[in-house]
Amino acid sequence: MSNRLLDKRIMITGAAQGIGLAIANAFAREGASLFLIDRDEALLQEEAAKLKGEGYQVGARSADITDAKAIVAAVAEGEAEIGRINALVNNAGVNVFSEPLDTSDEEWNRCFDINLKGAWNCSKAVLPGLIDQGGGVILNIASTHAFTIIPHTFPYPLAKHALLGMTKSLGLEYAPKNVRVNALAPGYVATQKVIDYWNGFPDPEAAKAETMKLHPNGRIATPEEIAMAAVFMISDECPFMNATCLTVDGGLSVQQHPA
């Protein structure tokens, strides 16, 4: 622990598992106070209790990020518990992959409600406080889908492209208020979502091997590697980084064809 996030009071969405949980653990070790949000109340409380048991200052509330009123109430509760929030990580998201003409209205709405509207609901809820405090940070967990397209993954890339657009727009809008808004774009990460993706194929091991072959170094990221990039972006180590996106994908999105 090096206290890189000391005095940071950070709200993290989708914090009960995967990348969100790895971020919560990394932030706690770096001295931050945390307010965690997830829809899975049982798992959220279990993970929050573990962090509290290790001596970290952590609050948690189950909330649906697509419900703007619920998020406003959650922010108020979080600030009562850990103090005024001065940083937000919009991590909660959902994979919605389909063929364009096979995409139902329900799938479209679910994709944009969670991956875009939810991030805006949370940003809108914390922005007045960040401005009032003289500044703060919002970090949106995007994806390499935010600037590349993989066939048969519609409409997920559209939502992530839009999230990157929102990042840039808010970053420019509130730069005069000393609010930084950035995005972090992971590629494949060893989370349950990716495992579930592999398991959707007739031969999961073959699907996993194909994924590994896409990467120059033959492996995918760990959640902890994404979390440490998030530590940097939330910290005061990059004060002039704003309205931009950091890609952490092992070079996946750079090469035209896998070796």
Give the model confidence (pLDDT) of 165-193 as tens digits: 999 999 999 999 999 999 999 999 999 98
- Residue 35 DSSP SS3: strand
Please provide the average confidence, as pLDDT, over all residues in the chain: 97
Q: Could you tell me where in the chain the CATH 3.40.50.720 domains are found? A: 9-186+222-246
Instruction: Flag whether pLDDT at 259 surpasses 70.
Output: no
181 close to 79: Cβ distance less than 8 angstroms: no
- In this prediction, residue 221 carries a pLDDT of 98
pTM score of the predicted model: 0.96
Please, which pLDDT band fits residue 256 given cuts at 50, 70 and 90? confident
Per-residue pLDDT band at 44 (split at 50, 70, 90): very high
Element holding 50 (H helix, E strand): helix 41-53
Quote the tokens at residue 103: 């995409």
In the set 156, 174, 188, 197, the catalytic residue is: 156
Summarised one tens digit per residue, pLDDT across range 94-149 is 999 999 999 999 999 999 999 999 999 999 999 999 999 999 999 999 999 999 99
CA distances from 243 to 39, 122, 168, 175 (A): 28, 17, 4, 9
Whether the link from the prior residue into 216 is cis, omega within 30° of 0, is: no
Residue 16 has pLDDT above 70, yes or no: yes
Residues contacting residue 104 through CB under 8 Å, at least 6 positions apart: none
What whole-number distance in Å separates Cα of residue 101 and Cα of residue 42? 37
β-pairing, 33-38 with 58-62?
parallel
**Total residue count of the chain as it appears in this document:** 259
One-letter amino acid for residue 150 of the chain: I
Residue at token pair 């972006």: 233
Q: What percent of the chain has pLDDT over 90?
A: 96
The CATH architecture of the domain made up of 9-186+222-246 is 3-Layer(aba) Sandwich (3.40)
| Closest C-alpha among 87, 91, 89, 68 to residue 79 | 87
Residue with more model confidence, 259 or 104: 104
Q: So what's the pLDDT on residue 258?
A: 74
Q: What angle do CA 71, 59, 166 make, to 5 degrees?
A: 40
**Secondary structure of the chain: what % helix, strand, coil (to 5)?**
50, 15, 35
Nearest Cα residue to 75 out of 63, 66, 58, 91 = 63
The share of the chain scoring above pLDDT 70, in percent, equals 99
**pLDDT for 1:** 64
Per the annotation, the verdict on 156 as an active-site residue is: yes
